[in-house]
Amino acid sequence: MTGRAIRNVTVKHKQWLTPHMLRIILSGDALSDFPTNFESGYVKLRFLSHELASSMNEKPLVRSYTVRAFDQAECELTIDFVSHGDNGPASAWALACSAGDKINIDGPGAAKLINMDADWFFLAGDMTALPAISVNLEKLPPTTIGYAVIEVLSEEDKLPIYVPEGVSVHWVINAHPDIPNTLLVDKVRSMPWQDGEVSVWVASEFSTMKSCRQYFKIERKLNKNNMYISSYWKMGDTDEGHKKAKKIDADLI
């Protein structure tokens, strides 16, 4: 059981941003004390299985999603979902839900933002990280220089995002992210290295994360304080399996 508040909220609005990115706005009085400035942090959505939905003793399935935006005045919480089938409880719920539907959430968890103390910046991630990358880009000063390398499922998934003028965005198209590949890390490696101190933010599939960490930490020898590198999912594994893999990986580094 988490120590964070559990809130019952209502689906207020649902909108397709791209063919594979679905935005859901949650609202309700339970968000009246939701803290501000947690964009890029996360909330946990709590799902009961269909068969046991009426059981008060059922342990819910919990899935973490990025806080894309929070409007305190309107008590509205925005979450963006990558839709690539309905094989998981969160994606299935997002596809099926309608305005007025209820769901329990808890959080927020800490926002993991890029370290602003650098000469230039390098952000990278797949489509699951696009909401957090967007938040990070919005918080960077307008004079920022650097790169944003973003993997999406199709050309139509290139979501319009705010980018400081000096940051170049490089989209990587990968229609099959569930098949082993090196598309994202290959693009990351291809970017010309700039002078000065760099700050890095990466979130992606587990194996891609490890390859990016190898590049930035070992090959580029970056200071750990200037790197946030994490995985949001693991190919061929459940969310629970991914969490176990992350724990084992963390104990090894």
Residue pair 39/72 in contact by the 8 Å Cβ criterion: no
pLDDT at 2 over 50: no
Residue with more model confidence, 50 or 211:
211
Where does the chain hold its CATH 3.40.50.80 domain(s)? 120-252
Beta strands 6-18 and 21-27: pairing type?
Answer: antiparallel
Amino acid sitting at position 9: V
The CATH homologous superfamily to which domain 6-109 belongs is: Translation factors (2.40.30.10)
Record the tokens describing residue 175, joined without a space. 């229609």
Q: With respect to CATH, is domain 120-252 assigned 3.30.70.660?
A: no
| pLDDT of res. 104 | 96
Condensed to tens digits (0 to 9), the pLDDT of residues 54-88 reads 455 668 889 999 999 999 999 999 999 998 765 68
CATH 2.40.30.10 location in the chain? 6-109
C-beta neighbour count of 166 within 10 angstroms: 14
Flag whether pLDDT at 14 surpasses 60. yes
Nearest to 91 by CA among 127, 57, 39: 127
- pLDDT bracket for residue 1 (50, 70, 90): very low
CB of 233 closer than 8 Å to CB of 239: yes
C-alpha distances (whole Å) from 129 to each of 3, 153, 173 are 25, 13, 15
Q: What is the per-residue pLDDT for 53?
A: 46
Q: For 118-127, what is the mean pLDDT?
A: 98
C-alpha span between 101 and 9 (Å, rounded): 8
Q: Are 151 and 125 in contact (CB under 8 A)?
A: yes
